[in-house]
A = this chain, B = another copy of it.
């Protein structure tokens, strides 16, 4: 068993120590060893340690304190630009500025990110993925100077953990695995899949704080509301077109 996989938790609070350059290099090397479409490596990893640039990134991530506190922030970008520049320089005509290549390059990017997470944890570091990256991708692109053909997909904050939170629960494996084909969920299965989480002390605490009758409503009425979802969908799709991933 790979211990890093089974002991992974998101770390949102870091010690001030910087990450030594040789450690950072091994971590980044881990990223590029991941599988990649046609060995094209359709990503760029923007490693930010400068306090000034982290300050400028922070509002893009709704000022979550870990963005400025973490010694290292890595913005993972889908990148069809580098490959396309190479093609043109060789008299070959690249046409990767379309949707399926956004998806392919995003897959490449996320595979690299997860290798980086596990190797970072192997080096004693902690990380947190920032889902806010897709909400404010265009703003991040401006801060980091991302040209056409490059779009942010996710971000990691990284540093030595200040404290180690408990492992987060997951749905029962049977709730997410289907054998042979997809078997649609019956209402009884849905009940069973969420039963343990809904009965937990953590959920009871959340309901109390949010003054809501159930956990699902915390998601739909507080965390990820319809209005926000539509706003961020439009923003990310606009960013996709603006950064040149939807010429079709």
Contact = CB atoms under 8 A, between A and B. Distances in A.
A240 to B, nearest CB: 8
Interface range for A: 35 or more
A15 interface: no
B115 A5 contact: yes
Contact of A180 (B50, B154, B171, B236): B50
A88 to B, nearest CB: 8
Interface in A75-123: 77, 79, 81-83, 85-87, 89-96, 98-101, 103-104, 106-107, 110-111, 113-115, 117-119, 122
A150 interface: yes
A154 to B, nearest CB: 6
A63 interface: no
A236 B100 contact: yes
Interface of A: 1-2, 4-6, 8, 10, 25-26, 28-30, 32-35, 37-41, 43-50, 53, 77, 79, 81-83, 85-87, 89-96, 98-101, 103-104, 106-107, 110-111, 113-115, 117-119, 122, 129, 131, 134-135, 143-147, 150, 153-154, 168-171, 173, 175-185, 187, 190-191, 193-194, 213-217, 219-221, 223-226, 229-230, 232-237, 248
